[in-house]
Amino acid sequence: MTLGKKILFVLLALFLSFAAIACDRTDDAVLRIALDIEDEGRYDELFTYFTETTGIPVAATYGLDLNKIFNTKDEPDLIKTSTVVIGSMKDLYVDLAPYLEADPDADASDYVDVLIDALTFEGKIYALPTSVNTSLLYYNKTLFDEKAVELRAAFGLTEADSIYPQADWSWVDFQTAGVILSEFTGSGDDRTYTQFGAEAQLSWWGEWLVYLNQMGGTFYVPGTDDRVCAINSAEATLATTFYRTKSMGSATEKFAPDAVEQSSGFAFLTGNVAMIFGGHLGDWYAFDVLEMDWGVQLLPTPVGDPAARGGEISADAFGISLRSEKKDQAFQFLKLWAGDAGALEMYKHGKIGALKTMEALIDALPETERTSIDHHVVFDAMEIAVTLPAEKDFAKVMRDMVMTELYLLMYDGRGAETDVAAVLSRIKTHVDDYYAGLYD
C-alpha cells in the first residue's frame, strides 16, 4: 500500500470515528418518551416548546410494546404507568421525591392528594400524575327526552324541572328511570328487549366495585396487607344483589341487559342504552364523533347515604427510567408535562390534568376552548371517588377470579348461578387460596 493510500485510510477512519461520535452525541441529547398510539401528533407543540426553551430535543414513540424494550438500550427515558399498575412497575422508576424537594417550581402537593399518594410507596414518589380518570354516570339526552312525560310523572317533576339524572339520585331513582327508559315486547318471563335504561359492565369491575364501595364494603379485609378477601360480607351481598337484579330482575326491576343480551348489540355507543357508568374520561370524544346528545352526572348512591364514596379515581402517570442517562433533563420535561402547560395541552385532546388547580385553569379558558364535558361534575365526582387497592395483583384477581364468577349470575341456563352468597363465598375461597400460595 502506498503512503498516499495509507494516509487516505487513516483520514477516512478518523472521519468515520468523528461522525460516529457526533451521531452518538446527537442521540444522547435526545429525550425519549413512549406514548399511546392515539397520542401521535397531539403533543408536538409541547415538545417544540420544551426544545425551544431548554435546547433538549424530544423524540416520541407511539404504540410501542414496552414489555419488549424494558432493560434494553431502546428503553425510553420517560415511561408511562398509572395509579392502577404502579405497584408492579415501581422498581423500574427513579424516586422523584429528591427532585421535587430540590425544585422550587414543583411540589408533590400540587397534585390531587389521593393520586400522588397512590404513586408513593414508603416515601418514594415513582411517577407524577398527568391526567385523571374518574367514574361518572353518562346519559343519552335524546332517549331521556323521548320518555319525558313518563319521567315527569314518576319523579313528580314540573315542566321547568330537568328530567335528566340529578346529583342526588339514589339507586332507587336510577332503577326507576332505567325501567322507564327500557322497552320490550311480550310479558312475564317472555320479554324481548329493544332498549335498555342502562348498560351492564360484565367484564370490567368498574360498576360492581362501585356498588360494593358505596355500601361500605371492601374487597380486602382491612389490616391484612390486601391478602384476605372480604367479599362474603353483608355489604358485598347487597351490592351484588342490586348488580344482578339490574340485569336479571322482573319487568319492574330490570333495566340492563343480561350476558346474552349484552352480546346482541346493546351498548351506550349504539344509542339503544340510555345510561352507563363510565370510567375513562376520553370516552366523550367518541360520543361527540357519533354526534350523540349526552351529559354526565355523579353516580347514584344507596338510599339514605347520598355522601357514599365508591366511584373510582385513577390517573395516567409518567416516571423516569432507572436506566436513563438523562434523568435531570427527563425531570425538566416531566415537570412541564405534569404542570399547567402540559395539562392545558392535554385538555385540548380530551384529558383532564391531575393538578389541584385544574378546575380553575379550565374556568379561565374562553368558552370556545372548553370541551363538551361538564368539568364541574368531573371535579365533584373526584371529591367522592376512591383509588383502587394498591395490591399489585388486584387487576389480575378481579379479572380472572371475580368477574368470571360474577358473570355466572348474569344469565339463565346451563352453568348459570342464582345464589349470590354462594358465588361470593366461592370467590373468597379462590382469592384467599391464591394469596396464600403466593406469599406463604
Positive/negative CA dihedral, 282, 283, 284, 286: positive
pLDDT at 7 over 70: no
Q: What is the pLDDT of residue 72?
A: 73
Instruction: Give 116's contacts (C-beta < 8 A, 6+ positions apart).
Output: 108, 109, 125, 128, 129, 354
Among the listed residues 307, 310, 283, 303, the one whose alpha carbon sits nearest the alpha carbon of residue 294? 283
The alpha-helical segments, DSSP class H, found in 305-390 are: 327-337, 340-347, 358-363, 375-383
Positive/negative CA dihedral, 429, 430, 431, 437: positive
Q: What is the pLDDT of residue 279?
A: 76
Q: What is the pLDDT of residue 300?
A: 98
Task: Please state which of the ranges 191-195, 281-285, 326-330, 377-381 shows the lowest mean pLDDT.
Answer: 281-285
* Tens digit of each residue's pLDDT (9 = 90 or more) over 204-259: 998 999 999 999 999 999 999 999 999 999 999 999 999 999 999 999 999 999 99
pTM, two decimals, is 0.88
Q: Please check whether residue 86 is in contact with residue 119, taking contact to mean a CB–CB distance below 8 angstroms.
A: yes
pLDDT at 4 over 60: no
d(CA 271, CA 290): 10
Domain 136-311+393-439 has CATH 1.10.510.10: no
Share of the chain above pLDDT 70, in %: 92
- For residue 85 the three cell numbers come to 399498575
Phi and psi angles of residue 167, each rounded to the nearest 5 degrees, phi first: -65, -25
Where do the domains of the chain lie? Answer: 22-133+315-383, 136-311+393-439
CATH topology of domain 22-133+315-383: D-Maltodextrin-Binding Protein; domain 2 (3.40.190)
d(CA 71, CA 13): 32
Q: Report long-range pairs for 230-238 (Cβ below 8 Å, ≥24 apart).
A: 230/428, 231/402, 231/424, 231/427, 231/428, 231/431, 232/421, 232/424, 232/425, 232/428, 236/212, 236/424, 237/420, 237/421, 237/424
**Range of 176-185, 274-283, 390-399 with top mean pLDDT:** 176-185
* Tens digit of each residue's pLDDT (9 = 90 or more) over 257-281: 999 999 888 999 999 999 999 876 6
- Angle in degrees, CA 365, 366, 371, rounded to 5: 75
- For residue 439 the three cell numbers come to 406469599
Query: How far is C-alpha 181 from the geometric centre of its chain's CA atoms?
Result: 28
